[in-house]
Amino acid sequence: MFAATQALRGIHMRHFGHLAPEARRRLFHREPAVFTAESPAPVLATALGATLYSPATRPTLADDVHKQAARGVVSMVLCLEDSIADADVPGAEANLVAQFADLAAREEAGEAEAPLLFIRVRDPEQIPDLVRRLGPAVRLLSGFVLPKFTEERGVPYLEALAAAEALSGHRLFAMPVLESPELLHVETRTATLTGIAGTVDKYRDRVLALRLGVTDFCSAYGLRRPPDMTAYDVQIVASVIADVVNVLGRADGTGFTVTGPVWEYFRVQERMFKPQLRRSPFLGRAEELRASLIEHDMDGLLREIELDRANGLLGKTCIHPSHVLPVHALSVVSHEEYSDAKDILRPERDGGGVMRSAYTNKMNEVKPHRAWAERTLLRAEVFGVAAEDVGFVELLGEALSG
């Protein structure tokens, strides 16, 4: 075994931290706050943002992690499951151990810092085994992603996680992936959701967020959504998302952060529209950018991100770096949203009531909108509040140019 981690991991992270300070001051009414891997769980769950997946077999994994962190990524999953072949698992595990040692050495030398790192495993036994093999470098690990999670399969994973945490003396989170056929099929969905809800509630302190495996849902019916359709256009998938949020995403203190499904298409590269943004990042040319994104099959991603939040999801699984900055730009709280949330949560409004918004375009009803306002202010803490005249186009343009 090895000694408990001597000091809490103190790597500082910030959304849009890759931008120059003057750019952040220009873009934000309230800049994104700094957080670390030791921040409270609600902050980390909100801050996950676009979680970028990478196969654990990559020989340059440590370089990749630092490169993506420098581009604005704050959470990554290093995958030992579906993204690699069965025969490659032993080599991928050994590669992970070596790459974590490399990352730890760079951190000790004061080089570039890593984002929140998670490992997606295949079976419960891998969790304590990997923690043991990582040794002191486990301080760089934030937790594990647990595939095909149900009550029956999930309990052994969570017990293994608890054992690994005790072994290492280091806080480790779980991110279960909800993707099993039992959750999709209507005749088993209610019982499966009830079992999952009981399991994650029992281990609430260890569960950071729940992730949706929509690709597996589609696979069960031989479906694949095209790039001009969102997950919400595939009705059988949309019905599962709604039921998951209904049971597991409630705002009454029993719910969890549920993250958005993966977007599979990445034909678009940043360079295809970055020059356009650099020419006029602050002229409000939303239609020009939107046309460029539609042309390159990115409009579906943007619509899905917006629908994720409208349907109670926060953050998104990403398999390509070009998806990260759009997710983060659309996660920034608008000045109008912030103004409404602050008005609703004023102490003098505790008794309820209705008032006209500061933007004079809607009514804010204190009691029904309180939970929304609380979530909005937490998102504002980690993603920031845009300046009054700054929108998605300006945020994305500056982020891509930064």
Q: Rounded CA gap, 187 and 206, in Å?
A: 30
DSSP element (H, E) containing 2? none
pLDDT, position 349: 74
The closest of 21, 41, 40, 39 to 31, measured between CA atoms, is 21
User: What is the three-class DSSP state of 154?
Assistant: helix
* 43 residue type, one letter: V
Instruction: Using the Cα atoms of residue 347, residue 350, residue 354 and residue 359 in order, give the sign of their dihedral.
Output: positive
User: What is the three-class DSSP state of 388?
Assistant: coil
The closest of 140, 145, 142, 212 to 183, measured between CA atoms, is 212
Q: Give the mean pLDDT per block of 10 residues along the chain (402 residues).
A: 39 92 97 96 98 97 95 97 95 98 92 90 98 97 98 98 95 97 96 98 97 92 90 95 98 96 74 43 50 61 95 96 94 97 86 83 90 97 97 89 76
Residue 250 CB contacts under 8 Å (≥ 6 apart), including other chains: none
Which pTM was predicted?
Answer: 0.90
- Structure token pair of residue 279: 């020419």
- CA torsion angle for 342, 345, 346, 349 (degrees, to 10)? 140
- Alpha helices in 259-391, H assignment, sequence order: 274-279, 286-295, 299-310, 324-329, 335-344, 366-383
| Beta carbons within 10 angstroms of residue 21's beta carbon | 9
Q: pLDDT (tens digit, 9 = 90+) per residue, 25-65?
A: 999 999 999 999 999 999 999 999 999 999 999 999 999 99
Burial of residue 28, with CB atoms counted within 10 A of its CB: 0-12 exposed, 13-18 middle, 19 or more buried: buried
The closest of 108, 127, 122 to 173, measured between CA atoms, is 127
